[in-house]
Amino acid sequence: MSDVLLVVNAGSSSIKFSVFGVGEPELELVCRGEVAGIGTAPRFRVRDASAQVLVDDQWDPLPRGEGHLRAIARIGAWLRSEFADANLLGIGHRVVHGGPDYSAAVLVDDEVLETLTALVPLAPLHQPHSLAGISAARQTRPDLPQVACFDTAFHRGHPKRADRFALPEAFYEEGIRRYGFHGLSYEYIARQLEHMAPEIARGRIVVAHLGSGASMCALHQGMSMDSTMGFTGLDGLPMGTRCGNLDPGVVLHLIRQKGMSPDEVETLLYHDAGMRAISGLSNDMRVLLESNAPGAAEAIDYFVYRIGRELGALAAVLGGLDGVVFTAGIGEKSPVIRARVCEDAAWLGIELDPSANNAGGPRITKPGGRGPSAWVIPTDEERMIALHTLAVLNDSVLGKPVSVLER
């Protein structure tokens, strides 16, 4: 092996990572891993490209405040031992929010980090941890290029009417606008459609990224036209613990009439809402689908209803519909949710093929049907990050590979 890229997706209590070999004609996945349980009982697990376990170690608890730094250092030490003959070209990081300033991946420096830190209030569940991962990597390997890849960037080409709120123009210019998220996932799906369904790839597509975090995106000519998420990751579909679409008057009521503080409202909307709130049981769709509890059925009904409502709205944005794609955890793994969404969308001409749906696709509508086709396409945000990272390095420092052995 010669050149490799490291992709890092840092969360509050875990750091997921992937290693890609840089070759022709495309990037090759070498392994995926995770340091889970940061702050409690860290566990380091790595699997190769065929999902065979390479390492599964339990660590002593990491010191408070040093979790990400120590985890990144441990990942680096393992990489040096396993890939001693490789050149680590750089590290690509998933960053949820790029704000109005970044419409493409960028090489991280102090100024970029300062700008991204100012966006923490817009993505409080994710942004601080992404930046902690970047800071830890910069401390551990100050010689190594770090590239920030944004979930908002793919949506930056929206027409202004799709992005602005009905507020004074000054607010829009200050950055109070609809950004959209899950862009790395949608960009990957747009690329995959070119190979899997070329007959519709440049047409009018709605992609449903359904997971614990969920959103939908309207694509035309492979570009994002609109998305269900807005200024923050709270808008649009109901999610595992997030509320989804909400009348802003509810927030005013909670503060003025219920006496809740802004912090309490934030906790409610980000952590104590969504499927968990409706079901009174769980934020995990797998648990809800297996449950006979009335609350579980109500939560599932609401989830499917909102998907159908947004599907109709996005089809209207596109002026028609050529295809629907299901992706992410629920979208890829739940034939029940896919079936219910497609059956509710029969008015759009979608004709579900139950056997194909139960088999997981990739096409789950009847062949030869005259209406829109429906597909199941696994997403790969890590590969998209690696592609963006390589492109940035090609423009800057790829000619100076850094040995993975260097400290």
Active-site residue set: 151
DSSP-assigned states of every residue in 104-164: S-EE--HHHHHHHHTTGGGSTTTHHHHHHHHHHHHHH-TTS-EEEEESSGGGTTS-HHHH-
Alpha-carbon 227 to chain mean position = 13
State how far the alpha carbon of 377 is from the alpha carbons of 28, 82, 178, 294, 313, in Å. Answer: 19, 32, 26, 31, 22
CB contact at 8 A, 210 and 340: no
CA distance to 49, 71, 137, 243, 404, per residue, from 140 (Å): 26, 10, 5, 38, 12
> What DSSP assignment string belongs to 6-43?
EEEEE-SS-EEEEEEE--SSS-EEEEEEEEE-TTS--E
How open is the CA angle 54-60-63, to the nearest 5 degrees?
120
Q: Which tokens is 242 given? A: 């997030």
- Angle between helix 335-344 and 294-318 (nearest 10): 50
Q: For residues 239 and 58, what is the distance between their CA atoms, to the nearest angstrom?
A: 31
Looking at the DSSP assignment, which residues form a beta bridge with residue 7?
18, 92
